[in-house]
Amino acid sequence: MPARRVTKLEAKASAAAAAEKRHEQLDEIQLWLPSLETALSLLVLPRAASALLSPIADCDETFNYWEPLHYLLYRFGFQTWEYSPVYALRSYFYLLLHYAVVKLTAFGSTLGLLADQKLLLFYGLRAALGLLSAYAEALFYRSTSRRFGRRTARYLLCILLFNAGIFHASTAFLPSTFTMVLVMLFSSAWMDKNHYLALFWGVVAVLCGWPYVGVLFIPFAVETLYTRGLIKSIVVGVAIGGAVLAVELVVNFHYYQRWVLPAWNIVVYNVLSNETDSTLYGTEPLSYYLLNLALNFNVVALLAAPAALFVFALPGHYETSKLQLLAYLSPIWNTEYLRSTLRFSGCQQRRELQCSTSCIPAFVC
């Protein structure tokens, strides 16, 4: 069959679209973009300030994490009910990761940097948490530039530098900080199409950090099954999950003297059990979560949901399918679902929404 003749109007429209695409691509090339090292150097500054200046804003950080860490270091400390073998709601594996950092920091005390060794260890751990957060943010920024372009990455870097929520969360000794960092590492690996590394970070976040964050990884799981194949994805997923689960179980068995999985116990205690009352210390209305987002993310929070719809409708010239783009944007919508889940289940862990909203700035840009 003879080819259909293209009208002058169609040819003009096609030429205009091609010219616009070339202009956008040229604009992307000409935009100055800080390197990974430069971005990391910039991000370290507010994280270091947070380590030195941010107060401990949560009693849970003091009594559920600093106190048991003090016990591991000096064999002296009090036990909260969450660490009782009866409940076993806290993971010792999470504590041991920080214990290793503190032991490395202890070598600095031999240099005479501070007269008070405990003060050095306190600020050393907070500095390490801030540095780890800055590194994860820098990787997240680099992956965003590769996936969505230089302009988007520059906006993201500015938001990360001046974000109030990440400023105070980055150096808190809490599972929410640990999970926030893992979510950024997960998102970075996912955008780089390293699905199995992303799977590893996601599994660690759920089993060793905060189990409720698993809802954020559902779109990733669907996209992985679609792009990587069912059998291979299941085999790799079981291998990674089994390895992380084995380490978590063995470490907690050593301290609790019985086989426990704190991540599962938290879900049972807060959601599934009829014998416990997760609303014991009170719950907050829906407005609390909206105000929390507005306080921590300001204008970014207001733009998140409509921006997600707009970007999905106009995906631009990047090599990202609509299915992938919808999956990348999923943290925004899953954050709303997670917030509703916590509210209606009466879960008390309100502050830990920071981990689920850590990726919102990228998808607003």
Give the pLDDT means over successive 10-residue stretches in the chain (365 positions).
Answer: 57 59 56 90 97 91 94 89 91 94 75 66 94 96 89 89 90 93 93 93 94 87 87 93 97 95 90 69 75 80 70 58 62 49 45 52 54
pLDDT score of 302:
77
Q: Which two tokens stand for residue 246?
A: 């084995």
Q: 170-181 burial by CB neighbour count: b if 16+ within 10 A, else e?
A: bbbbbbbbbbbb
Q: Which of 102, 78, 82, 104 is nearest to 92 (CA)?
A: 82
What amino acid occupies position 241? G
- Contact yes or no for 102/31 (Cβ under 8 A): no
Residue 32 neighbours by CB distance under 10 Å: 6
The predicted structure's pLDDT at residue 111: 56
The pLDDT of residue 341: 44
188 touches 139 (CB < 8 A)? yes
pLDDT score for 43: 97
Amino acid at 161: L
Characterize 329-358 residue by residue with b for buried, 16 or more Cβ atoms within 10 angstroms of its Cβ, and e for exposed: bbbbebbeebbeebbebebbbebbbbbbbb
Alpha helices in the chain (DSSP H): 8-30, 36-53, 59-61, 67-74, 92-106, 117-148, 150-161, 164-169, 175-191, 195-204, 218-228, 230-256, 262-267, 286-297, 299-313, 322-328, 330-345, 354-357, 360-364
pLDDT of residue 306: 72
Q: How far apart are CA 344 and CA 68, in angstroms?
A: 31
Residue 271 and residue 346 in contact, taking contact as beta carbons nearer than 8 Å: no
Per-residue DSSP letter, 257: S
Among 65, 81, 337, which residue's Cα sits nearest to residue 212? 337
Residue 4 DSSP class: P
Which residue, chain included where needed, has tokens 């090599």? 319
Residues 6+ apart with CB under 8 A from 162: 46
**What is the token pair recorded at 68?**
């048991």
pLDDT in tens, 158-170: 989 998 888 999 9
Tokens (6 digits) for 360: 């919102």
Distances in whole angstroms, Cα of residue 62 to Cα of each of 65, 100, 205, 320: 6, 19, 22, 44
**pLDDT of res. 237:** 93
Tokens of 326: 């919808």
The Cα–Cα gap between 89 and 278 comes to 13
- The pLDDT of residue 336 is 47
What was the pLDDT predicted at 175?
92
